[in-house]
């Protein structure tokens, strides 16, 4: 394991964006009736965190 394992700007950014996506999706499931569009927005945000991480890693911010 490297000395900066998980402590890179790319990792922190991806985690924060992923957390926001999970919260948005959870709020969508809490509405009565279930607000599926809000849930799917949360899913898209969460998946976008993977894309953001990939781009930031290619920029050299993951090492």
Instruction: State the pLDDT at residue 56.
Output: 96
**pLDDT tens digits, 4-27:** 676 899 999 999 999 999 999 999
Q: Considering its fold, how many domains does the chain have in total?
A: 1
**pLDDT tens digits, 29-38:** 998 788 899 9
The boundaries of the domain holding residue 20 are 9-58
Q: Quick check: is 13 in a domain? A: yes
Instruction: State the pLDDT at residue 9.
Output: 93
Q: Is the model's pLDDT at 51 over the cut of 70?
A: yes
The pTM of this model reads 0.86
Q: Quick check: is 29 in a domain? A: yes
Q: Quick check: is 51 in a domain? A: yes
Q: Quick check: is 2 in a domain? A: no
Instruction: State the pLDDT at residue 1.
Output: 53
Contacts 24+ apart (CB under 8 A), 52-56: 52/10, 52/13, 52/14, 52/17, 53/10, 53/11, 53/13, 53/14, 56/9, 56/10, 56/13, 56/14
Q: Cα–Cα distance between 46 and 18 in angstroms, integer?
A: 4
């Amino acid at each position: 394991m490297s000395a900066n394992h998980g402590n890179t700007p790319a990792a922190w950014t991806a985690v924060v964006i992923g957390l926001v996506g999970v919260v948005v999706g959870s709020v969508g499931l809490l509405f009565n009736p279930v607000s599926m569009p809000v849930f799917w927005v949360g899913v898209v945000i969460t998946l976008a965190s993977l894309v953001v991480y990939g781009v930031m890693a290619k920029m050299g911010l993951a090492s």
